[in-house]
Amino acid sequence: MDENEDVLVSVGGPVDRGVGLLTLNRPKAINSLTHPMVGAISAALKAWENDDAVRAVVISGAGDRGLCAGGDVVAIYHDAKVGGAATRQFWWDEYVLDAYIGRYPKPYVALMNGITMGGGVGISAHGSVRVVTETTKMAMPEVGIGFIPDVGGTFILSRAPGLLGLHAAMTGAPFTGADAIAMGFADHFVPHDRLDAFTATILAEDIDAAVAAHAEEPPPSPLLAQREWIDHCYAGETVSDIVAALRGPAGNPGGTAAVDAADLIASRSPVAVSVALEAVRRAASLSTLEDVLRQEFRTSCGALRSHDLVEGIRALLIDKDRNPQWSPTSLAGVTKEDIDGYFVSADPDLSFE
């Protein structure tokens, strides 16, 4: 194991029935994914797939802040300004990896501790054993930078109970580990201070023993408790309809939480929020993760062609003025043609051959 690598790759446990260990190792950047990291994860998984001495895989993040905060969007900013070819290839390889994780033939255990957002969701939420803690802070926050939820996120969002997935996609707001379980992003709740013991039990015994010894009933899901007003407000046909419902009449059942959601949506890229709404709706009718990732590759490439992705990253992470100048500037300025343009062929479309 090379301690200088951004992904630490090793095998632990008994020699004849080991466990592949992947540790994202950029703690200062909350383990944000780079293109070489995607390649390293893919290579390790492929090697272990056909290694009879490896019975399972566990992926985690170095440091205490989180599994992975997402992709390296500052790199995307600079590349987009010169055409975006490297970013397009990064997404291609990342989404192919996400699909591979989704069909990986061996148990794939993801420790979704702390911040797990964007690309971090892609390398964890499609695994077969997904673990959250009381520190988990999950989100698909893409609309805040003029981007669209990706990495297979819309596959899960579109299948969440009621319209909780639309709420998460259109606000970009973080949600808890308990919410993640309720929405279909995770399976088990393990207290943060028992994660090391959880992994040790997998190494010494097996995954079932680890779950039995360390998993607990998750706390109540705050989002699930708000489903009534979320289902009501997000049933509108357009983003404007949804925002109007969230602001609602006096006595709106969502109260201040609904108004806060409306304010969040209003601060996001108008075109990105509009495309996110359409993307989640379309994902609901696509039958496989691969089909959804292919659609997401189209919307991602659409964002790469847009004004708002570069502007959103600039405002949040480059100049840090938090004052993006979106184009169009309002929801009223977003046309059906604008939205449909994000769903045209990426030419070539994503392939899993």
* Residue % of the chain over a pLDDT of 90: 95
Side chain identity at residue 157, one-letter code = L
Work out the average pLDDT over 78-90.
96
**Cross-strand bridge partners of residue 8:** 23
Give mean pLDDT, residues 169-193: 98
**151 exposure class (CB count in 10 Å sphere: 0-12, 13-18, 19+):** buried
Does the structure show a pLDDT above 60 at 250?
no
Taking the C-alpha atoms of residue 97 and residue 57, their distance in angstroms, rounded to an integer, is 14
pLDDT over threshold 80, residue 85:
yes
Identify the active-site residue in 71, 172, 248, 254.
71
13 against 252, higher pLDDT: 13
Q: Which of 150, 83, 93 is nearest to 122 (CA)?
A: 150
As a whole number, mean pLDDT of residues 201-208 equals 97
What stretches of the chain show up as alpha helix (H) in DSSP? 35-49, 73-80, 85-102, 119-122, 153-157, 164-171, 177-183, 195-204, 207-214, 222-225, 227-233, 239-247, 255-267, 270-283, 289-305, 308-313, 336-340
For tokens 């970009």, name the residue: 172
C-alpha dihedral sign at 291, 292, 295, 300? negative
Please report the DSSP string for 49-113 in residue order. HT-TTEEEEEEEESSSSEEE--B-HHHHHHHHTTT-HHHHHHHHHHHHHHHHHHT-SS-EEEEE-
- Which amino acid type is present at position 76? I
Residue 1 has pLDDT above 70, yes or no: no
Q: What mean pLDDT comes out for the span 166-190?
A: 98
pLDDT the model gives residue 248: 84
What are the Cα distances from residue 106, in Å, to 56, 123, 167?
A: 6, 15, 33
Task: Compute the C-alpha angle 38/210/107, nearest 5°.
Answer: 40
Q: What is the mean pLDDT of the chain?
A: 96
- The alpha carbon dihedral of 344, 347, 352, 353 has a sign of positive
Digit-coded pLDDT (tens) for 252-263: 777 899 999 999
Is 205 marked active-site? Answer: no
Whether the per-residue pLDDT at 129 is higher than 80: the answer is: yes
Q: What is the pLDDT of residue 251?
A: 52
Specify the pLDDT at position 39. 97
Q: Is 71 a catalytic residue?
A: yes
* DSSP SS3 for 342: helix
Catalytic residue among 150, 179, 278, 290: 150
* Predicted confidence (pLDDT) per residue in 267-297, tens digit: 999 999 999 999 999 999 999 999 999 999 9
Choosing from 119, 177, 254, 302, the catalytic residue is: 119
pLDDT > 70 in the chain, percent:
98
Q: Which of 72, 142, 296, 311 is catalytic?
A: 142
Please state, in angstroms and rounded to a whole number, the distance separating the CA atoms of residues 348 and 353: 13
Q: What is the rounded average pLDDT of the residues 25-53?
A: 97
d(CA 148, CA 142): 5
Q: Given this model, what pLDDT does residue 254 score?
A: 78
Question: Is the bond preceding 27 in cis, omega lying within 30 degrees of 0?
Answer: no
- Residue 84 appears among annotated catalytic residues: no
- Own/partner contacts of 238-244, CB < 8 Å, gap of 24 or more, are 238/274, 238/277, 238/331, 239/170, 239/265, 239/270, 239/273, 239/274, 239/277, 239/331, 239/334, 240/331, 240/332, 242/166, 242/170, 242/277, 243/331
Q: Phi/psi at 68 (nearest 5 deg)?
A: -170, 130
Asked whether the beta carbons of 264 and 172 are under 8 A apart, the reply is: yes
- Whether the predicted pLDDT of 2 surpasses 70: no
- Contact indicator for 291, 136 with CB cutoff of 8 Å: no
Say if residue 249's pLDDT is above 80: no
> 3 pLDDT band (50/70/90 cuts)?
very low
Higher local confidence (pLDDT), 246 or 4: 246
Q: What is the mean pLDDT of residues 110-115?
A: 98
Annotation says 142 is catalytic: yes
pLDDT digits (tens, 9 = 90+) for 285-343: 999 999 999 999 999 999 999 999 999 999 999 999 999 999 999 999 999 999 999 99
Mean pLDDT confidence for 58-69: 97
